[in-house]
Structure 1
């Protein structure tokens, strides 16, 4: 297959529109022989003459008219691609693919976006919510640039960069009037025989519950699994079971439940992950620096 460049297609279109090889060559600032070679490469690529030579004029024929809209379409698509790449390289107008856990969509993510867009209003954010493990996998697969997740993933320090943003102490949530509804810290093993309301597998708080319970030698009995911490808290208040929840979440607002910090203390790490060593686009790098320096 004969290669045809964008310059060759531009030459073909110029002659098709003007009908004059000499004028088209002069307009492009090249010699007539050079311009002739460009036209010949296009004709050789399609396997047919696209012009009828009439004296000094080149009149586009039926074959040329059939090919002309496709040549224009190719150049238009190349320009669209060039514009998209240029936007990716422009830190003030590029795109950032940001993933985050459901529980961060009520406070951390809105706060970050509000402050950042006030400084850089032209940046385009593509947002995606999901389970922490899924979000980490999306970053590793280059389906997202950055993810706000917790806990710290095992790939941090290797395939992933990591920056801790928040450290929330974990608590056992029990309904008011429950036998464990007292003040002060609690050993999670005291709730080993209780029904638990938890997050779905792969979600950050569920991974923490499974890890901590496993270290303490028991497997919690899950009576309901949710995608939202607010749902978990609500079902605990209704007496459906107990749960592992973070303290000091500004939008969790537990009502009708008692939160007892775990003893020994356990924490929920919230942080930023990105592909280590990735050649990031300037808009992504600029946003990451903004988050890291807050």
Structure 2
């Protein structure tokens, strides 16, 4: 049978012990804990009663920790950290989180959507610290499932019982060509006329990459991809520099407007991306995510 812990040993008293051990002074420990020095002194002596051994000795007016106090302090650090972590994960399981929000995003959404969302959530919850994690759709979805991000702005995933998604907007996909290309002035383009042209694309896992391959499936030929990159801005630089053509979402068209032309695809392609907010359904009552969802819904109406 495990040893029963005395009621005299509490988390608050362990905090008092650590504060005293770290400051070496009753007054400073009391200031750190926002209590009186008398309360710290009582907590330390109460711990001694609960431990049934001496933790301190007096030298004049000074209270000096014994070796036993150092051992208990080491244990207390581990216990308090474990309990703090336990409270956090318990709150997450119940749908509540803390003062930090990790938002995943596609690179292309950092132009307009992400700043709008971050400003909106700061206005609603100014105490919240926001961290941005960038990646591909596949990377972000994996991080969301693993719990390393709280929510993500990306192309909406396939229906999943574990994931809640809020659609925000749809984005057309365009044929991207250098601004001085003979394709740039066309009112629309059928990819079949580009069969012999070089192309550049994003790597696997990006929604723009999967749309790229779907478009060429419709065109019924395999494009000559001369280079793949890991972010959409590098891709646009390659297009603007004449390395190859590509397919890009309309949301990035203003970034390199002088160097890259966005030409509509003919109607048979009908290429669009559905962009929105996704988070784990078990956390739908999390106040931070409720605030984030409200911001995203508001942006839908703008």
- Give the TM-score taking structure 1 as reference length: 0.72
CA shift in 2, pair 1:263/1:64, >3 Å: same
CA contact under 8 A between 2:173 and 2:247: conserved in structure 1?
yes
Of 200, 210, 214, the residue aligned with 1:211 is: 214
Pair 1:92–1:281, CA change in 2 (3 A): closer
Q: Distance in 2 between matches of 1:132 and 1:109?
A: 15
Structure 1 position 202, deviation (Å)? 1.2
Using the alignment, how far apart are the partners of 1:276 and 1:269 within structure 2? 19
Instruction: Output one character per residue of 1:170-203: Cα deviation in whole Å (capped at 9) or x when no partner.
Output: 1111224544333212222222332111112212
Structure 1 residue 149, shift from structure 2 partner: 0.8
In the superposition, the TM-score normalised over structure 2's length comes to 0.71
* 8 Å contact kept, 1:229–1:252: no
Aligned with 1:118 (options 120, 123, 139): 123
- Structure 1 residues 75 and 291, CA, compared in 2 at 3 Å: closer, same or farther? same
Report the equivalent of 2:22: none
Quick one: distance in 1 between partners of 2:256 and 2:65? 74
| C-alpha displacement of 1:276 | 2.5
Alignment of structure 1 residues 138-287 onto 2, 5 Å: 138-150=143-155, 152-154=156-158, 156-249=159-252, 251-264=254-267, 265-278=270-283, 280-287=285-292
Partner in structure 2 of residue 8 of structure 1: 9
Distance in 2, matches of 1:39 and 1:188, equals: 82
Gaps of 5+ in 1: 15-23, 29-34, 44-48, 53-59
Offset of 1:273 from its aligned partner? 1.1
| SS of the residue 1:293 aligns to | helix
- State how far apart, in whole Å, the 1-side matches of 2:284 and 2:54 are: 44
The structure whose Rg is larger is 1
- After superposition, the C-alpha distances for 1:26-66 in whole angstroms (9 at most, x for unaligned) are x79xxxxxx89x956x46xxxxx5589xxxxxxx9966445
**Alpha-carbon contact 2:203-2:230 (below 8 Å) kept:** yes
Q: Which moved more, 1:69-78 or 1:272-281?
A: 69-78
Matched position secondary structure for 2:140: helix
Q: What is the Cα deviation at residue 131 of structure 1? A: 1.1
Contact kept, 8 Å, 1:169 with 1:267, in 2: the verdict is yes
How far apart, CA to CA, are the structure 2 residues paired with 1:71 and 1:105? Answer: 45
- Structure 2: segments with no counterpart, 5+ residues: 18-38, 57-63
2:140 to 135, 139, 157: 135
| Contact 2:203–2:229, Cα closer than 8 Å, also in 1 | yes
- The residue aligned with 1:17 is none
Give the Cα–Cα distance (whole angstroms) in 1 for the partners of residues 266 and 252 of structure 2: 19
